[in-house]
Every structure is written in C-alpha cells, then in structure tokens.
Amino acid sequence: MQTSEKTLMRALAGESLPVPPVWMMRQAGRYLPEYRATRAQAGSFLELCYNPELAAEVTLQPIRRYGFDASILFADILLVPQALGADLWFVEGEGPRLSTITSAEDYAKLKPIEDIHETLAPVYETVRILSRALPQETTLIGFAGAPWTVATYMIAGRGTKDQGPARKLMYGDTGTFDRLMDKISDATAEYLIAQIEAGAEVVKLFDSWAGALPGAVFDKYAVQPARKIIERIHAVHPHVPVIGFPRQAGEKVIPFVEATGVAACGIDTSVDPAWAAKNLQPLTCVQGNLDPMLLVTGGDALVRSVKETAAAFADGPYIFNLGHGITPDADPANVDVMLKALRC
C-alpha cells in the first residue's frame, strides 16, 4: 500500500472519510498487561525506551490487539534533553526528574546539537524496525515534545502544576531562556528529521503545557518554535505531515494553525467539538477529543460520546483520538467498545 492511500494520510491530506481513522495517545502503555510484562523484561522505563527490539514490541502491541490506523513510536519527550546532556531519571510512582537549567552557566554545559544523535540512535533503530514490522495499512507516527514543554521540565527538573520555574526564567532571564528555547528547537528539528529518515511517515509535536503561556508569549514560545521546526522539516521532507497539539490553548489553536501550517491539530477535552468543527476544521484536519476517563468508566456514556464526537466532525477531515493520553487505569475492554462504536 502506498503511504498516500492509508486512511490516516488521507485525512491529513484533507479528505473527509465515512469512518475516521483512529489511534490513541499513549496507546502503548500501562493499561495493557502485555506492556507491563515487557516493561518488567526491560528493567526500567528508560531501558525500555533505549532497547529497540522491546520498544518496537510495545509499540506493536496495541496494533495487534486493536488494529488502530496508526502506530506512534514508543519513546519519551525527555530523551532530547538527555541527549543534550541533562541528567534524566525516573522516580517510581512520581515521574521524571532532570538536572536543572536555571542560569547561563547551566546552559553553557549543554552539548552541541550535532551530538544528540549518538544518544538517540536506538530510537532511530526502533523506527526502522517498526517501518518493517507494521501492517501495510498502518501509518507510523514519530514524535517529540514541543520546545516550551520540554523547557519546562529542563528548568524545573520535574513536572509542575503552573510551570512557574519556567515562567520565572522566561521573564527574569530572557536571554538564557531564549537561547535554551532555540537549542531545544534546533535539536527537535534534527530529531524529527532523523525519525523521518528512519521511516516515520508523520511526526507530531506535543506541547502539553501550551496553555500556561498567556497572550503574546504564546505566539513567541508556542507558535514560533513550532513554525521553525516545521519549516526545517519541510525544507528536507516537504511532503511529510506534521500534527500539532497545543494542549489547553483554547481558541489560540486558530492562530497556531494559521501560523504553523500543521496538517492536523489535536484538541484536548476542554475544546467544544461544535466550536472546533465550525472554526478549526475549515483550516486543518482535527484530531481528538474523547475524554480518556470514559475508557475507565465505559458503559453507555462511552458509546454515546464516541458517536457524538465522530458526528460533530463528520463533514471534514478528522482523526478520532482522545483529548489526552489513555490512563493506566483504563479497561482494555473499553477500547474495544470504543472502536466498535466508531466503526459500526
């Protein structure tokens, strides 16, 4: 099958389909018993990310089980800061921890952009394995964290509720913050281009904390870095679609799409589907935004919400997905219910 014939690629090209393509953010993850078994075999989360055979295996698991229209590379957005020289580790039950960048002196210790590929080489090998192993109808998606979201972790050393440490550096030492954002942007473009050259057919930028950027700084630190990365990608691979996900950006998704030219824009659960169908879908393919909690609770509410969400976007290009990643407490059987409601 030619890449252009795959259902996800047809939606990204602007085609309205009677049954939309579907995949889920974090579809390879802790809600699946087979993932937990492979994770135990790997030894740790980071060891799993850097083991191409096992990373490919967990990426393939939800495809075997559910037959999604797309498979997204199993990795983590914080591999880029680690490749730039940050210390990275995970605390069980709490999440990632990094050494922090809070001054010009800290920034100066980061590695040159060209050095990232040595650390990230196992990720590229995972992509190569997947490009051979996936069913011919399944689109392979690569991804990276958007610069602002990655910067929030590099500055705070962990996830925070209000991204306060990053905002403090942004306002208090703009020069250092801007240099860090530029470096992350350049590294991210290189990383995504390498994923494409290894076999990714689509790439996605996750800006999980875009909603923390108010007013003009949203344009400066969410929109402009995304546009820079996409321009870099398209200078080398002009026909590879890029999906953007400026989470919790609200109506600012409109200028984001207009300025970046993303082939699709993911929307989170806070966005009204009727509003998005009227205002966003005429500009680009829309992806989203079923509430992940419904895959925990299931029942009639899940079936009804799946059908209502799909119906809202039936008149334009659309990819069915969640408004955020599937949660570890989701019932795998409810994913089957979701797919049946969508496809029947």
Is the CB of residue 286 less than 8 Å from the CB of residue 246? no
Q: Give the Cα separation of 228 and 260 in Å (integer).
A: 8
Distance CA(135)–CA(143), nearest Å, equals: 20
d(CA 235, CA 237): 6
Asked if residue 55 lies in contact with residue 49, where contact means CB atoms within 8 angstroms, the answer is yes
69 is catalytic: no
Q: Whose structure tokens read 């689109």?
A: 139
Q: How far apart are CA 96 and CA 237, in angstroms?
A: 32
Q: Any catalytic annotation for residue 66?
A: no
186 assigned to active site = no
106 in catalytic set: no
Q: Which of 153, 191, 221, 318 is catalytic?
A: 153
Q: Of 36, 65, 76, 291, which one is the catalytic site residue? A: 76
* Catalytic annotation, pick one of 26, 167, 227, 247: 26
Q: Tokens 């929030």 sit at which residue?
A: 152
In sequence order, what E strands does the chain have? 70-72, 88-91, 95-98, 139-145, 202-207, 242-246, 264-266, 285-290, 318-322
Catalytic residue among 10, 39, 227, 247: 39
Q: With contact defined as beta carbons under 8 Å apart, do 12 and 241 qualify?
A: yes
- Looking at beta carbons, which pairs linking 51-59 to residues 24 or more positions away fall under 8 Å? 51/122, 52/122, 52/123, 52/125, 52/126, 52/128, 52/129, 53/129, 55/122, 55/123, 55/126, 56/126, 56/129, 56/130, 56/133, 58/28, 58/34, 59/28, 59/126, 59/130
**Known active-site residue 153:** yes
Rounded-to-5 percentages of helix, strand, coil across the chain? 55, 15, 35
Alpha-carbon distance 102 to 276, whole Å? 38
Interatomic CA distance for residues 281 and 186, integer angstroms: 30
145 neighbors 73 (Cβ within 8 angstroms): no
Which amino acids are annotated catalytic?
A: 26, 30, 39, 76, 153
